[in-house]
Amino acid sequence: MIQIVPQQRILLATAPTDFRKGMDGLAALCRSVVRADPFSGALFVFANRKRSAIRVLAYDGTGFWLCTKRLSRGKFRGWPRAGEAGVAAMAAAELQVLLANGDPSRARFGEAWRRIPT
């Protein structure tokens, strides 16, 4: 099971990805496009050209997980535009909103860290 925790590093490949690629192909994209180690424990998020499906690649210490979510209608909203870097960082709460087909750029979140009153 993949847990999405607030401390999780989440990286999105902003350019469309060929979904014919499997785990090894996406791990290679992590190195070449995202410029990060796929064995680092981070979550790597990819979308197809139509933005109707996303894939999350994760390494849990023993092997890779590859999760796919495809919408029956519409497309994922709020996906960052492909910039020069081709990569965007995302908070765990934003990824959860995206997976629920919400728009993370329009969602309201609490502070990432706040002091608990004693």
Reference 42, options 83, 95, 78, 85; nearest CA is 95
Average of pLDDT values for 77-96?
Answer: 82
What pLDDT does residue 5 have? 84
Average of pLDDT values for 26-55?
Answer: 94
Q: Is the pLDDT of residue 53 over 70?
A: yes
What pLDDT does residue 99 have? 86
Average of pLDDT values for 79-84?
Answer: 72
State the residue range of the domain holding 95. Answer: 10-99
Q: In what order do the strands lie in the sheet with 43-47?
A: 64-70, 53-59, 43-47, 10-13, 87-90
Residue type, 35: R
CA atoms within 13 A on the CB side of 47: 26
Structural domain includes residue 54: yes
Structural domain includes residue 14: yes
Domain count, the chain: 1
Average of pLDDT values for 52-65?
Answer: 94
What pLDDT does residue 6 have? 83
Neighbouring residues of 114: CB distance < 8 A, sequence distance ≥ 6: none
Structural domain includes residue 114: no
C-alpha 23 chain-centroid distance:
15
Chain-wide mean pLDDT for the chain? 87
Structural domain includes residue 3: no
What pLDDT does residue 28 have? 95
